[in-house]
Amino acid sequence: MKAERLPYDMGNAGDFIKHGLIAEFTEWWLSINKSDFVFIDPFGGRPYVSPPHSGVIRRLQQLPDCALKRGQPEIANRYYGSANLVRNIVTKVNRNVVIKVSDRNQKAMEDLLNEGFEPIQFDGFDSQNSFSIIDCKLSKHEVSLLLLDPFDDFLSQYADSVIHWLAGTVSTLRVPVLVFVLCKDWESEAGLKWQQLQARFLLPDLMQFSLACSQISESIIKGETNFNSEAVLLLPPGYGEEYLDQLTNRLQNFSVKISNVLKRDVVFKSRGKLSMEQV
């Protein structure tokens, strides 16, 4: 894969919390299910970067053992994106994985297909509009995790319709969804909208686990000086109910580890119908 210049460095702080949450959820899911892990990523992105930024390498080397580190086996040579991360974790324990991807950028899509991932071909899906995944009947496909990792215009242009849809999808179709959000200022109109939409549509019925990291000023790693980031995992009511304490402990422990590496508080919250307490 020939590297192209990106407006951010893969493996920045936002990627760490997003990929950390994906990794911990994947290992947790594998521990309580025997079926194939089915991962859907309509926003794809680059499958990896080689070599990673030196600052990213240093952080991964400093990171104590955790699911994210286990899913990044070539620290000095490659930083893997979401789809490869999931594949690394699942195949490491000799389990089967199905990964379906899309990206409206032709080069990125070619790179993803060259990695052996399947293109998303659900009825109603438009590869030039990743949000069209909303119109697909995901319950037919026994999805283990749907990742929504949109662009930074998500809050200003798409959040209203997508969040309303998410509440119904997670609850009715029983599809776990991870949403990654970037915001320059949580007190801005876009940031306040995100908080209001969460409170109105997501919190009343869904289990919600989140990791959030604020901007890291004067960082040499592109993509973390301009944006606050939050990764939010949404689970249907009662999903894995007997084992949610295990997931909570995993994410709490990861937030401590990654906070020490980033030298920045990564805030973990767990809230929802089963536990209204905020951690």
Tens-place pLDDT, residues 163-203: 888 887 888 878 999 999 999 899 999 899 888 888 877 77
Instruction: Note the pTM of the prediction, 2 decimals.
Output: 0.94
pLDDT score recorded for residue 279: 37
Q: Which residue has the higher pLDDT, 172 or 27?
A: 27
Tens-place pLDDT, residues 102-116: 999 999 999 999 999
Query: If residue 165 lies in a helix (H) or strand (E), which one and from where to where?
Result: helix 159-168
- Return phi, psi of residue 255, to 5°: -60, -35
Torsion-angle region of 94 (φ positive above 0: left; ψ -120 to 50: alpha; else: beta): left
Q: How far is CA 274 from the centre of its chain?
A: 22
